[in-house]
């Protein structure tokens, strides 16, 4: 009975969205594998095929629960459920659902549009409309890495037990791998990593809802300099990216495409970060420092002696009273110090 109840206890301890999404991935991948084993395919009602997905719009999101190969399925099961569990406990179930839908849905929409542009330019429908089958959670994986870069950028991890690196370096490494594979001809599904990185950053930067620890006021996004777009690139690319970011941010504000943000009092303007309000991590750091200062101040304040039951201050011991009346009387501690000095001499 104990052996049977332990797995159930572990499953019940997993947050509901993580548990449901993981179960859907397992069932969806197994169902796709069964259909493929039976020789049924392609399956436009399960995966995203640009030439047919317009008739199956749910696949823009649900294609994420379909892994078409064993290596992809194993990699997803190792990384995604544990990461979603961490994020769900930190953000809550509703915010995690939004994050999954936005990261997967918008990445697939961009991929869908790109394939249609390629078809218009080449007139090769067999390749770009019916030869591409987007599936899996690569877009979600890179978006999760972006979230970890926002939350724990300096945390060190070991990749495959060999390479030791900081969390903030992993997204660009994954992005570089995607770029190389796309250049050698593996556009599908590796191109969605490019889109998932950008969509995940935009959502966390401007749209994710944050509840403030002070007053309960809601803010949106993370406008800190450490999470700006140019922070992902080497210094030589900062100037053109800053110019382009300023232009895009200006029109996004004019068209009310992003939530309005107040200016940062410390930086006094736009600088290199749109909006420039403090990030959630910086707010918490400031609050922690304030709480520490208050604790140190309260610890340094002398505590008055407790009053007796009848409201009078407690009387000093007889030796202390005699010392107060006769200042020439040596204290017991002084005598002990002198004795110790003679013994040492």
Token output for 2: 């104990």
Instruction: Please check whether residue 309 lies inside any domain of the structure.
Output: no
DSSP 37: H
Q: Which residues of 287-317 are buried (b: 16+ CB within 10 A; e: fewer)?
A: eeeeeeeeeeeeeeeeeeeeeeeeeeeeeee
How many domains are contained in the chain? 2
Helix axis angle for 138-151 and 93-122, nearest 10°, is: 130
Residue 31 lies in a domain: yes
3-state SS, residue 58? coil
From CA 340, how far away is CA 322, in angstroms rounded?
Answer: 24
Single residue among 181, 207, 233 that ends a domain in this structure: 207
What's the pLDDT at 256? Answer: 82
> In this structure, is residue 197 part of a structural domain?
yes
CA–CA distance, 224 with 282 (Å, rounded to integer): 8
Six-digit token pair at 126? 């067999």
User: What is the C-alpha end-to-end distance of the chain, expressed in Å?
Assistant: 75
Q: Name the DSSP letter for residue 329.
A: S
Structural domain boundaries, residue 251: 215-292
**Residue 132: inside a domain, yes or no?**
yes
Nearest to 138 by CA among 241, 35, 232, 67: 67
Judge if 99 and 186 occupy the same domain: yes
pLDDT at 296: 75
At 211 the pLDDT is: 72
**Region of residue 274 (phi > 0: left; psi between -120 and 50: alpha; otherwise: beta):** beta
| Same structural domain, 125 and 87 | yes
Statement to judge: residues 184 and 220 lie in one domain: no
Cβ contacts of residue 72 below 8 Å, gap of 6+? 136
Does residue 255 share a domain with residue 136? no
What residue has token string 């006094």?
Answer: 268
Residue 300, in any domain of the structure: no
The answer to whether residues 180 and 68 belong to one domain is yes
Is residue 30, in this structure, part of any structural domain at all? yes
CA pair distance 242, 273, nearest whole angstrom: 8
Q: Let me know whether 169 and 223 are in one domain.
A: no
Distance of alpha carbon 174 from alpha carbon 192, whole angstroms = 12
Same domain flag for 65 and 132 = yes
Q: What is the DSSP letter of 136?
A: S
Residue 194 lies in a domain: yes
Whether residue 66 is found in the same domain as residue 34: yes
Among residues 276, 292, 308, the one where a domain terminates is 292
Q: Which pLDDT does position 2 carry in this prediction? A: 46
Contact (CB, 8 A) for 128 and 44? no
**38 and 95 together in one domain:** yes
Residue 270's pLDDT is 34
Predicted confidence pLDDT, tens digits, the chain (345 residues): 445 457 778 777 889 999 999 999 999 999 999 999 998 878 899 999 999 999 999 999 999 999 999 999 999 999 999 999 999 999 999 999 999 999 999 999 999 999 999 999 999 999 999 988 999 999 999 999 999 999 988 888 877 667 788 888 899 999 999 999 999 988 888 999 999 999 999 999 999 988 765 555 678 888 888 888 888 888 888 888 888 888 888 888 888 888 766 544 333 333 333 333 444 556 566 666 777 777 777 766 655 555 554 555 555 555 544 444 454 444 444 444 434 444 443
Co-location of 163 and 238 in the same domain: no
Q: Is 153 found in the same domain as 42?
A: yes
Domain boundary among 244, 274, 292: 292
Q: Quick check: is 333 in a domain? A: no
Tens digit of pLDDT for each residue in 61-113?
999 999 999 999 999 999 999 999 999 999 999 999 999 999 999 999 999 99
pTM higher than 0.75, yes or no? no
The reply to whether 257 and 165 lie within a common domain is no
Any idea what the CATH number is for the domain that residue 38 is in?
1.20.1540.10
């Amino acid at each position: 009975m104990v052996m049977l109840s332990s797995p159930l206890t572990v499953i019940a301890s997993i947050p509901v969205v993580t548990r449901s999404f993981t179960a859907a991935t397992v069932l969806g991948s197994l169902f796709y594998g069964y259909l493929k084993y039976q020789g049924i395919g392609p399956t436009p009602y399960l995966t995203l095929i640009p030439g047919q997905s317009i008739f199956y719009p749910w696949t823009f999101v649900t294609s994420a629960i379909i892994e078409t190969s064993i290596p992809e399925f194993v990699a997803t099961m190792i990384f995604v459920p544990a990461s979603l569990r961490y994020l769900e406990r930190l953000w809550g179930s509703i915010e995690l659902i939004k994050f999954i839908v936005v990261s997967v849905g918008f990445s697939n929409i961009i991929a869908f549009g790109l394939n249609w542009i390629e078809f218009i330019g080449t007139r090769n429908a067999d390749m770009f409309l019916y030869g591409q089958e987007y599936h899996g959670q690569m877009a979600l994986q890179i978006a999760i890495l972006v979230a970890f870069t926002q939350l724990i950028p300096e945390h060190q991890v070991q990749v495959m037990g060999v390479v030791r690196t900081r969390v903030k370096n992993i997204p660009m490494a994954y992005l570089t791998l995607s770029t190389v594979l796309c250049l050698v001809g593996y556009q599908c599904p590796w191109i969605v990593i490019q889109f998932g990185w950008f969509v995940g950053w935009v959502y966390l930067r401007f749209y994710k809802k944050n509840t403030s620890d002070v007053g309960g006021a809601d803010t949106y996004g993370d406008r800190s300099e450490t999470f700006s777009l140019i922070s992902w690139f080497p210094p030589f690319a900062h100037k053109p990216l800053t110019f382009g970011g300023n232009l895009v941010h200006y029109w996004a504000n004019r068209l009310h495409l992003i939530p309005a943000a107040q200016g940062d009092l410390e930086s006094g303007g736009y600088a290199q970060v749109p909006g420039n309000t403090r990030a959630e991590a910086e707010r918490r750091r400031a609050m922690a420092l304030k709480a520490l200062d208050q604790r140190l101040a309260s610890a340094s304040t002398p505590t008055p002696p407790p009053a007796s039951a009848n409201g009078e201050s407690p009387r000093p011991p007889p030796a202390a009273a005699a010392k107060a009346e006769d200042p020439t009387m040596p204290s017991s501690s002084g005598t002990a110090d002198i004795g110790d000095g003679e013994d040492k001499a």
